[in-house]
Chains A and B, each alone.
Chain A
Amino acid sequence: MHETMVAKNLLDSIAAEAAKQRAKPIAARISCGSFNAVNDEVLTFAFEAISRGTICEDMKLEIEHKSIRGKCSSCHKQFDFDLTKPSCSHCRCDKFDLLPDPPLLLEEIEFEME
């Protein structure tokens, strides 16, 4: 349900940029780490609901989920973390550090050409 607040913040950022660009935004790409627990359907629904009647109405949202990465203590390589197989995918070592969850980012906005 925190998607409502994510949608509100997203709408504010895109609307501010649209005013600067003096153009209508038609699509946006956002990314987040999988620990951020953003549900695509809920976020899309919330964004549609609050963008109605604004310059962001009918925008398309693309949401990219990034894996949590681990860094192996033996071979120092990075790998996609999986709790069901908690070991380095390169050397199978089970000593590693989890890297911070990638934050929720607004990566790109596409505007209508004049």
Chain B
Amino acid sequence: MGKKIQFGTKILSANEEYAQQNSKLLREKRKYCLNMISSPGSGKTTILTRTITDLKGKVRIGVIEGDIQTQLDAERIRATQAPAVQINTNGSCHLSAAQVSSALAQLPLDQIDMVFVENVGNLVCPSAFELGEDGKVVVLSVAEGDDKPAKYPAIFSKSKVLLINKIDLLPSGAVDFDVEKVKADARTLNKDIEIFCVSAKNGQGMDGWYDWLLKTVKRSS
């Protein structure tokens, strides 16, 4: 038998300290911040480019892009004239609060009203790392299947908003996706979650998401 010492300390406390600093900075500057999480290919960047373009003149958005490699997503955001900072994680499957901290320092915070962090495409790992955001937005596209809240409950339980994307694929019957089942499972995990069914491609349903976003950003500033 060895000598046992009890702790009960948080293992990810180093990340949490950075998250708290980010949160403090965002609060001081009165910038609302959402952390967007989904599988790769669910349409996060397309949702953002459409949102930025459609809300021009109503809310000024800055974006922190997280990807394992490339500047592609930041370039897509900059094409809308919005400021974007790209983080390349070089293999890591999630953004850390320290990475977001240095990206925040590069964003022109005085020229924007809110920050979107587009996390690395992954439905599991990013949910375990707080970044200092005001809330999480989980995106699920209908092509991914309606069993995702049951299989990946953490992110649905922790998110403020669920965007069910690519609903333009539903009428053709090309994908089997029970929207009501997803809504019910998500609300079982999180009774306060706001759910919007959207197509970032043709704009269907985006108005409900925009109303929520504008109202929420206005209330926090």
Contacts and interface: CB of A to CB of B under 8 A. Distances in A.
Contacts of B172: none
Contacts of A10: 11
A25 to B, nearest CB: 9
B3 A110 contact: yes
Contacts of A21: 3, 5
A112 interface: yes
A46 interface: no
B2 interface: yes
B12 A108 contact: no
Of the four ranges (under 10, 10 to 19, 20 to 34, 35 or more), the interface on chain A belongs to 35 or more
Interface in B11-44: 11-15
Contact of A37 (B1, B3, B125): B125
B6 A108 contact: yes
A109 interface: yes
A13 B154 contact: no
A101 B6 contact: no
Interface string A56-85: 000000000000100000000000000110
B53 interface: no
A111 B3 contact: yes
A98 B125 CA distance: 20
B135 interface: no
B214 interface: no
B7 A98 contact: no
Contacts of A113: 1-3
Contacts of B168: none
Interface string A30-72: 1000011100000000000000000000000000000010000
A110 B125 contact: no
Contact of B124 (A4, A9, A37): A37
Interface stretch (B79-87, B108-116, B184-192): B184-192
Contact of B5 (A17, A83, A97, A105): A17
A83 B189 contact: yes
Contact of B154 (A27, A35, A106, A108): A35
Interface string B120-135: 0000110111000000
Interface in B65-85: none
B66 to A, nearest CB: 13
20 contacts: A1-B92, A2-B125, A6-B11, A9-B14, A10-B11, A17-B5, A23-B3, A35-B153, A37-B124, A37-B125, A68-B153, A86-B188, A101-B154, A103-B10, A105-B9, A106-B8, A108-B7, A109-B7, A110-B3, A111-B4
Interface of A: 1-2, 4-6, 9-10, 12-13, 17, 21, 23, 26-27, 30, 35-37, 68, 83-84, 86, 97-98, 101, 103-113
Interface of B: 1-15, 92-94, 96, 124-125, 127-129, 149-150, 153-154, 157-158, 185, 188-191
Q: Which 9 A-B pairs have the closest CB atoms?
A: A35-B154, A2-B125, A110-B2, A1-B93, A104-B11, A86-B188, A111-B3, A110-B4, A106-B7
